[in-house]
Amino acid sequence: MPISSPHAKDKVLSSFGAAIRAVRKEVGVSQEELALKCEIDRSYMGSIERGEQNSGLIHIAKIAKALNISIAELMVKAKL
């Protein structure tokens, strides 16, 4: 499947995705469970975690809330 974002694999997106994956694993939630909690398609969640999507603020807020972490804490974990 082609990568849809012109920013795909940008270091910022890769770091953000890796932080989501790390926190998700820390809290013991599968990618599918997280996607369901956020009302995001599982394949889209996977592309976020791989740094292929430039997520909007609404999705970032939903992801942080589902992981029980603040947006600021998520950004710190991503070293952004």
pLDDT of residue 1: 47
- DSSP tag of 10: -
Q: Do 13 and 54 contact (CB within 8 A), yes or no?
A: yes
pLDDT one-digit tens code per residue, 42-77: 999 999 999 999 999 999 999 999 999 999 999 999
- Which is nearest to 55 in space by CA: 25, 35, 32? 35
pLDDT of residue 9: 73
**Cα–Cα dist 19/6, whole Å:** 21
**Cα–Cα dist 6/28, whole Å:** 31
pLDDT one-digit tens code per residue, 36-51: 999 999 999 999 999 9
CATH number of 11-77: 1.10.260.40
**pTM for this prediction:** 0.88
Domain residue limits, the chain = 11-77
